[in-house]
């Protein structure tokens, strides 16, 4: 069965610093991969997704992620953190089709220090 | 992307009662899902709501506790039955298939507190 792990339940970065949120997945077949963001007291918003094709995926708000099959990873990065990036970030995987149910990782809470 | 609304947005309920949560989408969608997010936790899939057939429940969730309806392609309800404090969570509806993109979109969630 597929699963998702996120290293670091809480990450703190300084404003302007690189953001790196780690995600590793377990899947026996090529996965569809997603990053969602949840701002305080709000629902989930899709940041970016990988389905097929280019392994470097660009999303909203300056975020990007790279699918590395050999490492079974899909880490999320942003070159320069902004205060508004403080939120909970969830990595997720869907195996059969991208319409199928999505399995979420435990989440990483990002804090941005002024 | 689909616009999803949920009602109520939040509620405080007494132990032993039931609450029905509504999920409305602004366009027809193939798949609708219900998730639970317990305090400080990630999202856990409760069930897939299929139009015209019974919902498909994940391990650990049963129809008697979480009955689901899907009367058409734009609407679904989730009932949390015989509630206990352990049911205090955020309940989220998501949709996919038919929005023109291969993506799940989430509603704003319903915040439930059971006393």
Say what the pLDDT of residue A102 is. 83
Contact A44 B106 (CB under 8 A): yes
How many residues belong to chain A?
114
Distance from CA of B14 to the nearest CA of A (A): 22
Say what the pLDDT of residue A97 is. 58
Q: Rounded to an integer, what distance in angstroms lies between the CA atom of residue B55 and that of residue B68?
A: 6
**Is residue A30 pLDDT above 90, yes or no?**
no
Contact B42 A107 (CB under 8 A): yes
Mean of pLDDT over chain A: 90
Q: Rounded to an integer, what distance in angstroms lies between the CA atom of residue A54 and that of residue B17?
A: 50
Option in B43, B58, B108 nearest A104 (CB): B43
Q: Rounded to an integer, what distance in angstroms lies between the CA atom of residue A19 and that of residue B25?
A: 34
The torsion angle over the Cα atoms of residues A98, A99, A103 and A107, rounded to 10 degrees, is 70
Contact B92 A44 (CB under 8 A): yes
Spell out which residues of chain A touch residue B43, defining contact as CB-CB under 8 Å: 44, 90, 104
| Tally of CB atoms within 10 A around A76 | 24
Contact A106 B42 (CB under 8 A): yes
Option in A42, A99, A102 nearest B108 (CB): A42
Say what the pLDDT of residue B39 is. 87
Token look-up 């205090």 returns: B88
CB A108 within 8 A of CB A89: yes
Q: Please, where are the H alpha helices in chain A?
A: none
């Amino acid at each position: 069965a597929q699963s998702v792990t996120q290293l670091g339940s809480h990450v703190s970065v300084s404003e302007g610093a690189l953001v790196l949120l780690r995600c590793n997945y377990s899947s026996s077949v090529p996965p569809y991969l997603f990053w969602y963001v949840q701002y305080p007291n709000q629902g989930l918003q899709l940041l970016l997704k990988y389905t097929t094709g280019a392994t470097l995926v660009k999303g909203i708000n300056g975020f990007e992620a790279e699918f590395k099959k050999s490492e079974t990873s899909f880490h999320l990065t942003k070159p320069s953190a902004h205060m508004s990036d403080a939120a909970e970030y969830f990595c997720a995987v869907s195996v059969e089709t991208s319409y199928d149910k999505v399995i979420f990782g435990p989440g990483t809470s990002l804090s941005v220090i002024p | 992307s689909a616009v999803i609304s949920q009602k109520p947005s939040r509620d405080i309920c007494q132990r032993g009662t039931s609450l029905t949560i509504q999920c409305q989408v602004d366009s027809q969608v193939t798949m609708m899902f219900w998730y639970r997010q317990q305090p400080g936790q990630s999202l856990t899939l409760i069930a897939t709501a299929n139009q015209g057939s019974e919902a498909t429940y994940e391990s650990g969730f049963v129809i008697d506790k979480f009955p689901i309806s899907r009367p058409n392609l734009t609407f679904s309800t989730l009932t949390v039955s015989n509630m206990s404090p352990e049911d205090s969570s955020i309940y989220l509806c998501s949709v996919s298939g038919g929005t023109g993109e291969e993506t799940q979109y989430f509603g704003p969630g319903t915040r439930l507190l059971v006393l």
